[in-house]
């Protein structure tokens, strides 16, 4: 009889144990937007040039343009046919539904901000959520404005391209400075012969 | 009596077995992929706050002051790193940031880690990935090395009409530029150099011009 009581206790403890595990699993927080990629896989997205779209390619393929700047900036001017989804609203249910619909239709989505940096974070997160049809604009809205004004895009920097030859920069700078110093010091070595004119004595005298 | 003992023993075995099975099940159940990562919407909000940007003036000051908690990480490839990098920077090409040899540099809270590349596109994207793994104390050099060079090492001289603060900032940047290896005119030659008179120390090397002072002749004053 004593042993039976003990087994009952163990049995109850076992049931409690299992139910705790079950409750734990059932109430586990599921992220509403789970990543479809591990962080290790997402490394290949960093600096990925295949997903950068240059502004010259814009008209060639049918991109659905998404302007991720805020509504005031959008109202001030935007690329033709762009839809405004402010970056902070990208994960609202309505925008996610919109993106899913576009993916279903087989359309390519092109994000743009004022420059490449503004769009890159949104692009990278959305790509990790499983949207493989998302691209981002290399020149941003600034580039579009330059094109509209018929100016060249040369003033925009190519992303991640060094602007200087860092290896030789300091050597060059030293050389340049030396030359400048020689040039500057050259004329001062010559002494100018001043001819001092004697002032004639003025005769100062009475009235 | 014997039979009962047997059943109870079997119950022990059954319970033990079930628990081991559950434990093994939990081992293989890793939930959703990357459930430990920061959620997408929170990550985007964090990046939009831009609290992780450090500009070149702040970085130059931190390096010059010799902050021991600063850890500079160059995310470019090893060739570019060999050509030039900031003093005491470590090279971890961005493809390798999650390698087990290197991830320890990011997954810590003792150092202030500053990531940089030529621009800040790669550094920003690497920051985003590392932050999504809940690593903290990570910063991005705004504008990257390109901007660091154009502001600290080759600062633009402010307009003559500019604010006094702007001139002060220019002088600070110029002085910082010498710290980072920009050649000082004094060390290059003893010749005069125009335009660098803004920085105080440089004037020492300047050659003095011999000024001949003309004596004024005394005017004879007279008359009534």
CB-CB under 8 Å, B8 with A170:
no
CB-CB under 8 Å, B122 with A47:
yes
Name the class of domain B40-146.
alpha beta
Quick count: other Cβ atoms within 10 Å of Cβ A175? 13
Gap between the Cα atoms of B65 and B61, Å rounded: 6
Q: Average pLDDT, whole number, for chain A?
A: 85
Gap between the Cα atoms of B129 and A125, Å rounded: 9
Residue B211 has pLDDT above 80, yes or no: no
Cβ pairs bridging A and B (under 8 Å): 183
Query: Side by side, which strands form the sheet with A52-53?
Result: A52-53, A134-137, A108-112, A63-67, A83-84
CB-CB under 8 Å, A202 with B121:
no
What are A125-159's pLDDT values in tens digits? 999 998 989 999 999 999 999 988 988 888 888 88
Q: Is A26 on the interface with B (CB under 8 A)?
A: no
What's the whole-model pTM score? 0.74
Q: Is A180 on the interface with B (CB under 8 A)?
A: yes
Specify the DSSP class assigned to residue B34: T
CB-CB under 8 Å, A205 with B222:
yes
CB-CB under 8 Å, A204 with B220:
yes
Q: Give the residue on A whose Cα is nearest the Cα of B95.
A: A43
What are A175-198's pLDDT values in tens digits? 888 888 888 776 555 556 667 777
Q: Give the residue on B whose Cα is nearest the Cα of A52.
A: B121
Asked whether B55 and B150 are in contact (CB, 8 A), the reply is no
Gap between the Cα atoms of B144 and B117, Å rounded: 5
Indicate the SS3 state at residue B141: strand
What pLDDT is stored for residue B4 in this prediction?
65
pLDDT-derived band at A100, boundaries 50, 70, 90? very high
Asked whether B32 and A34 are in contact (CB, 8 A), the reply is yes
CA neighbor of A90 nearest in space, from A143, A48, A129: A129
Domains of chain A (ranges, CATH numbers): 55-155 (3.40.250.10)
Residue B13 has pLDDT above 90, yes or no: no
What are A105-130's pLDDT values in tens digits? 989 999 999 999 999 999 999 999 98
CB-CB under 8 Å, B122 with A46:
yes
CB-CB under 8 Å, A178 with B80:
no
Q: Is A75 on the interface with B (CB under 8 A)?
A: no
Give all strands (DSSP E) within chain A, no chain letters.
52-53, 63-67, 83-84, 108-112, 134-137
What pLDDT is stored for residue B5 in this prediction?
65
CA B207 to chain centre: 40
pLDDT-derived band at B126, boundaries 50, 70, 90? very high
Nearest to A87 among B35, B48, B185 (CB): B48
The predicted model gives A60-68 an average pLDDT of 87
Show residues of chain A in contact with B98, CB under 8 Å: 39-40, 43
pLDDT-derived band at B195, boundaries 50, 70, 90? very low
Indicate the SS3 state at residue A144: helix
Interface pTM (ipTM) of the complex? 0.76
Q: Is A71 on the interface with B (CB under 8 A)?
A: no
CB-CB under 8 Å, B80 with A166:
yes
Q: In which region does residue A78 sit, left (phi positive, over 0), alpha (psi from -120 to 50) or beta (all else)?
A: beta
CB-CB under 8 Å, A181 with B40:
no
CA B48 to chain centre: 19
Show residues of chain A in contact with B185, CB under 8 Å: 177, 181
Show residues of chain B in contact with A204, CB under 8 Å: 219-223
Q: Give the residue on A whose Cα is nearest the Cα of B76.
A: A160
The full DSSP string for B154-210 is SPPPPPTTS-HHHHHHHHHHHHHHHHTTPPPHHHH-SS--TT-TTSGGGGGGPPPPP
């Amino acid at each position: 009889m004593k042993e039976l009581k003990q087994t009952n206790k163990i049995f109850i403890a076992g049931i409690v144990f299992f139910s705790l595990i079950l409750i734990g699993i059932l109430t586990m927080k599921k992220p509403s937007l789970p990543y479809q990629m591990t962080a290790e896989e997402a490394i290949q997205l960093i600096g990925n040039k295949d997903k950068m779209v240059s502004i010259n390619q814009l008209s060639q393929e049918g991109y659905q343009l998404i302007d991720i700047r805020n509504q005031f900036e959008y109202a001030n001017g935007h690329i033709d046919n762009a839809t405004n989804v402010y970056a902070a609203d990208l994960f609202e249910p309505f925008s996610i539904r919109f993106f899913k619909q576009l993916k279903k239709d087989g359309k390519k989505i092109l994000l743009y901000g004022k420059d490449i940096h503004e769009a890159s974070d949104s692009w990278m997160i959305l790509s990790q959520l499983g949207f493989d049809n998302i691209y981002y604009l290399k020149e941003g809205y600034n580039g579009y404005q330059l094109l509209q004004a018929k100016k060249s895009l040369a003033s925009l920097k190519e992303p991640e391209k060094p602007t200087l030859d860092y290896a030789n920069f300091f050597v060059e700078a030293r050389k340049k400075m030396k030359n400048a110093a020689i040039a500057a010091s050259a004329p001062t070595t010559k002494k100018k012969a001043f001819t001092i004119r004697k002032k004639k004595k003025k005769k100062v005298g009475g009235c | 009596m014997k039979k009962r003992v047997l059943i109870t023993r079997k119950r022990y075995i059954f319970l033990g077995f079930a628990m081991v099975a559950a434990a093994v099940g939990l081992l293989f159940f890793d939930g959703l992929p990357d459930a430990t990562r920061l959620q997408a919407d929170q990550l985007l909000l964090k990046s939009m706050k831009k609290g992780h940007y450090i500009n070149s003036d702040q970085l130059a000051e931190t390096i010059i002051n010799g902050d021991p908690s600063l850890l500079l990480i160059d995310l470019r490839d090893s060739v570019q790193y060999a050509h030039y990098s900031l003093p005491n920077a470590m090279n971890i090409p961005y493809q390798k940031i999650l390698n087990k040899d290197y991830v320890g540099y990011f997954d810590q809270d003792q150092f202030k880690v500053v990531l940089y590349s030529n621009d800040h596109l790669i550094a920003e994207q690497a920051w985003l990935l590392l932050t999504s793994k809940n690593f903290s104390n990570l910063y991005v050099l705004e504008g990257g090395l390109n901007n660091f060079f154009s502001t600290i090492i080759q600062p633009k001289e402010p307009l003559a009409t500019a604010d006094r603060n702007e001139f002060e900032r220019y002088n600070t940047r110029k002085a910082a530029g010498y710290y980072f290896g920009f050649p000082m005119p004094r060390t290059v030659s003893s010749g005069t150099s125009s335009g660098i008179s803004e920085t105080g120390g440089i004037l020492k090397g300047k050659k003095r011009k011999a000024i001949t002072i003309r004596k004024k002749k005394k005017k004879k004053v007279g008359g009534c």
